[in-house]
Amino acid sequence: MSLVEIIPEKCDLSYSCVRECPVNAIEVKVNQDYARVIPERCIGCGHCIDVCPQHAIVYRDSKQTTRELLQSETTTVAIVAPSISGEFDDIEDYRKFVQMIRELGFDHVNEVSFGADLIALKYRELFDNFKGKYYITSNCHAVVSHVQKYHPELINNLAPLVSPTIATAKVVRKKYGDPLHVVYIGPCIDTKEEVGLYEGENRIDAVITFVELRELFDEFNIQESKVEFSDFDPPIGYKGSLFPISNGLFQAAGIDEDLLTSSVINGSGKTNTLNAVRQFEEGITQIKHHFNLFFCEGCLMGPGTSPGGKKYNRRSKVIDYANKRLKHFDKARWEKEIARYLELDFSRHFQNDDQRIETPSEEKIQEVLKAIGKEDADDNLGCSACGYDSCRDFAIAVSKGLAKTEMCLSYTLRNRHEYIKALRTTNEKLAQTQKALKESEQKARKEKQSAKEASETINAMLQKLPSAVVIIDQNLKIIQSNKTFIDYLGDEAASISEVIPGLVGADLKSLLPHNIYTLFSHVLNNQQNIVNRDIRLEEKLLNLSIFTIKKGKIVGAVFRDMYAPEIRKEQVIKRVSEVIDKNLEMVQKIGYLLGEGASETEKMLNSIIEFYQSGQQDQTPPMGSDHPDPGHDKNPQDGKKPDDTAPEDDNKPNDKGPDDKGPDTQNNPDDHQNHPDQ
């Protein structure tokens, strides 16, 4: 888990966190219905946690890690921040409080105030050896992160000293040796990130806040009334107990704070810290002071303390605690301990972690300003409802992708007014539509009633028909049938119909013989209607027609009793007419064929005559010829006359009439009668 996260299910986009975040590390994307912390931009100040009305923002929980450390065989030490006296004002005696911590399973409990004494002395040494370079103190990790990420040019101006927390970890590791587990208990959440930067003799294994400590007390049922007195393990802190107050560190070291002679400026709180860092960068050569900065109002009001705490009440508790300790304080022993540990290496280095986003083009900024209706706004003008100091700052954030236009209150209100106007128009149209719908509903109701009446009429007519009618679905289940159909099926079907009127849902396969219901399957599958098919059903001779109503899904059928007088008369007339029509058609075809044959014969005879005549003309000698045709010397008796020639005999017209040659064209109705049994 990141140091700080937002629970999407709880977030209602109030933008409180966006307004509070000093480094714009919380983004709200378009089409995203919750805010999100950008881990790499977050400095761990925790301000967003305190202001979220839905309690949707949480920090990394370290209770489980602490439980595991306490359950191990390794010696475990708790190092406790001096601001604990301001947090646990409900505990009357701090010695009871120390014993409550031991009850959790800690082997030793030490004060971070001793580490504060050591670091305070190191700062006095640093400032006393001033060589023209001014520093920003590095006791607050949120301040250090802010400089590294957003003012990397000032990294060399960060005091190269570890925080009192890390200094105390170094002291207890030197005192108790390894292996050793160290757990820090304090008011800040950024320390959870800070300890990850150190290893070896500076290592801290877990960090729990005061809130988490209270939860552990409740979990193990540890109460002040159930424990005895117990004091902190040495070395004991001196004026380092004042470290939670912003200038307490300098009080501990006796650093001059006189306004006329001091070289140090104290600053605490988000706004003061941001302004101080900015002005340090812009004009330290004119300011000529070291800056001692805390992102919170001192460590008294850290995000790891109980919500609702009162700053000055806590401040007074810290001072009271320090005074009580000083009444019986063994300064000589303290000086001896200081001398023992002051020679430890408390130096540190810083890394450039530049998270600045390049400022977008002026054109892009103006596009956003125009979109929110602020293109003519002054650069410093803004209501800050979006979380940014000015409309321009907001437009820059939108251009960087850190915000969306809907975060602008005036833009949202304008859109809301337009939405309300559009909604009013829509409501008017809706009212008209509702009226038309009501009229349509009344009309539909009337049509439904008419359809119902028509359906009832059709159903009544269906039941009155003398022919049997049945309608089935694609599964050969009956949708509707009339009484005649049920009567055709027999007594068993009639009994079923009393329970299920019209045999609705009955399987046709169980009611009709195989050769009949397969006809229904044929029509369903092939969409080829069957018309006037004669069938037998038990003793009945029926005429069946099956036709498609809905392709592949619904078919209907009509059964007619061929023995019924009206049906027999109708069928006899129909079928006699069909026979007559067929015979007339046959006669027409025969006549056509005979006429076509006579025409062909005539054509053949004419061609023979023409050929014969052309041959005679070729045999006639030319006029004045000296040589008569040899053919004229022959005896006419030896040859054949023209009239006796074979071609003329072969092409002699046939005197037989159609009755001598063609098929019998007399119609015999009896021979072509279409009997029902065929």
Whether residue 519 is found in the same domain as residue 548? yes
Whether residue 244 is found in the same domain as residue 178? yes
Whether residue 116 is found in the same domain as residue 53? no
Higher per-residue pLDDT: 584 or 508? 508
Whether residue 6 is found in the same domain as residue 95? no
Whether residue 83 is found in the same domain as residue 224? yes
Has residue 633 got a pLDDT over 70? Answer: no
Q: Which of 60, 76, 102 is the last residue of a domain?
A: 60
The reply to whether omega before 179 is within 30° of 0 (cis) is: yes
Higher per-residue pLDDT: 407 or 235? 235
Q: Tell me, yes or no, whether 657 lies in a domain.
A: no
Has residue 7 got a pLDDT over 80? Answer: yes
Enter the tokens of residue 522.
């044929």
Q: Which of 304, 323, 341 is the last residue of a domain?
A: 341
- The highest-confidence range among 162-171, 297-306, 387-396, 605-614, by mean pLDDT, is 162-171
Amino acid at 645: T
Rounded mean pLDDT, 142-162: 97
Has residue 632 got a pLDDT over 50? Answer: no
Q: Tell me, yes or no, whether 405 lies in a domain.
A: no
Digit-coded pLDDT (tens) for 371-406: 777 766 555 566 766 767 778 878 888 887 777 776
Q: Tell me, yes or no, whether 234 lies in a domain.
A: yes
- The highest-confidence range among 271-275, 296-300, 454-458, 521-525, by mean pLDDT, is 271-275
The reply to whether omega before 501 is within 30° of 0 (cis) is: no
Whether residue 26 is found in the same domain as residue 145? no
Has residue 665 got a pLDDT over 50? Answer: no
Has residue 568 got a pLDDT over 80? Answer: no
Q: Which of 324, 341, 358 is the last residue of a domain?
A: 341
Strand partners of residue 57: 6
**421 Cα distance to chain centroid:** 31
Domain with residue 8: its CATH number is: 3.30.70.20
Strand partners of residue 206: 183
Whether residue 108 is found in the same domain as residue 9? no
Q: Do 170 and 201 form a contact (C-beta atoms < 8 A)?
A: yes
CA distance 559 to 24: 86
Digit-coded pLDDT (tens) for 19-45: 889 998 998 887 778 889 999 999 999
The whole-number pLDDT of residue 571 equals 56
The reply to whether omega before 235 is within 30° of 0 (cis) is: yes
Enter the tokens of residue 446.
């009337």
Where does the pLDDT of residue 503 fall: very low under 50, low under 70, confident under 90, or very high at 90 and above? Answer: confident
CA distance 356 to 354: 6
Has residue 360 got a pLDDT over 80? Answer: yes
Enter the tokens of residue 171.
């002291």
**161 Cα distance to chain centroid:** 50
Angle between helices 112-128 and 164-176 (to 10 degrees): 120
Q: Which domain holds residue 7?
A: 1-60
Has residue 49 got a pLDDT over 60? Answer: yes
CA distance 143 to 160: 13
Where does the pLDDT of residue 203 fall: very low under 50, low under 70, confident under 90, or very high at 90 and above? Answer: very high
- Residue 29: phi and psi, rounded to 5, are -85, 155
Residue 492 Rama label (left phi>0; alpha psi -120 to 50; beta)? alpha
Q: Tell me, yes or no, whether 495 lies in a domain.
A: yes
Digit-coded pLDDT (tens) for 443-488: 888 888 887 777 777 777 777 778 889 898 988 999 888 888 888 8
Higher per-residue pLDDT: 545 or 583? 545
Enter the tokens of residue 133.
């370079």
Q: Tell me, yes or no, whether 96 lies in a domain.
A: yes
Whether residue 4 is found in the same domain as residue 115? no
Whether residue 292 is found in the same domain as residue 264? yes
Whether residue 143 is found in the same domain as residue 211? yes
The whole-number pLDDT of residue 440 equals 85
Q: Tell me, yes or no, whether 178 lies in a domain.
A: yes
Q: Tell me, yes or no, whether 592 lies in a domain.
A: no
The whole-number pLDDT of residue 194 equals 96
Q: Where are the beta strands (DSSP E) in 431-586?
A: 468-473, 478-481, 530-537, 540-550, 554-561
The whole-number pLDDT of residue 239 equals 93
Whether residue 29 is found in the same domain as residue 89? no
pTM for the predicted model, two decimal places: 0.62
C-alpha to C-alpha distances, 390 to 361, 371, 403, 408, nearest whole angstrom = 17, 15, 14, 11
C-alpha to C-alpha distances, 382 to 75, 334, 386, nearest whole angstrom = 56, 54, 9
Rounded mean pLDDT, 631-658: 43
The whole-number pLDDT of residue 168 equals 97
The whole-number pLDDT of residue 307 equals 87
Digit-coded pLDDT (tens) for 236-270: 999 999 998 888 888 888 888 888 888 999 999 99
Q: Across all residues in the chain, what is the average pLDDT?
A: 82
User: Which 3-state string (H, E, C) describes 603-642?
Assistant: HHHHHHHHHHHHHHHHHCCCCCCCCCCHHHHCCCCCCCCH
CA distance 546 to 671: 30
Has residue 622 got a pLDDT over 60? Answer: no
The whole-number pLDDT of residue 334 equals 95
Whether residue 46 is found in the same domain as residue 185? no
Q: Rounded to the nearest 5 degrees, what angle is found at the Cα of 68, between the Cα atoms of 65 and 70?
A: 110
Domain with residue 546: its CATH number is: 3.30.450.20
The whole-number pLDDT of residue 505 equals 87
Instruction: Provide the number of structural domains found in the chain.
Output: 3
The whole-number pLDDT of residue 599 equals 65
Q: Tell me, yes or no, whether 158 lies in a domain.
A: yes
- Percentage of residues in the chain with pLDDT exceeding 90? 40
